[in-house]
Amino acid sequence: MNQKKFSLKAIPGWAYMLGIFGILYLNGLHTEAIGQVQRLLLATGIKNADVPESLQNVDATAVVDAATVADSEMAGAGLQLVDLQGKQIDFGSLKGKVVFLNIWATWCPPCIAEMPNIQKLYDKVGSDKIAFVMLSVDEGGMNKVKKFIERKDYTFPVYLPASQFPQEFYSNAIPTTFIISPKGKIVAKQEGMADYNTPEVVEFLQNLAAE
């Protein structure tokens, strides 16, 4: 009776991939693995962030008035944030600055994919006039978010919501990014991942801050 010897070559390629993904999943690394693959897509330049070519080209009908969000802390009902050191701040205290608001989560591969370029953007333009709010919507608590940020060595400001989200910031996608003018106007909104470390975005933010 002839017996066939087992050979690794007989295992189909898809089985290898399934096994690798299974190992990553069991070790909690599948999200980051997918994020790294999606980051390659960003590197092609086909997912660059969409911002108006100039401040004059901002469509007034598409600009959402977020001033009520920024001003409502005076009535004690504004969006409250808590940073990774446990300090609570009013979102409205950022009015008068350009705000780059990115809504993300550690379980979101596209969020992970776009973060390195957001860090590069922050290194270029983050200042007293341009505030970054990396707002995590994780339900696993602050420690989970803090460990992720420390492991990645990100230095941009990270917050968690400490109150209900205003309707102005609702979105059907994650990540979602808003650029808010010093006057409290949402002048750009991007649903889904994008590359924000582009000359166009840098120029737009700097021009907005110089208004």
Give the domain ranges of the chain: 42-209
Q: Name the percent of the chain lying above pLDDT 70.
A: 64
CB of 178 within 8 A of CB of 166?
no
Lowest mean pLDDT of 36-40, 114-118, 135-139, 182-186, name the range. Answer: 36-40
Render pLDDT for 23-38 as a digit per residue (tens, 0 to 9): 544 444 445 655 555 5
Instruction: Examine the pLDDT at 8 and tell me if it is beyond 90.
Output: no
Render pLDDT for 43-102 as a digit per residue (tens, 0 to 9): 666 557 777 665 555 544 444 445 445 554 334 457 899 999 999 999 988 989 999 999
Q: Which CATH architecture has domain 42-209?
A: 3-Layer(aba) Sandwich (3.40)
Residue 114 is which amino acid? E
pTM, rounded to two decimals = 0.75
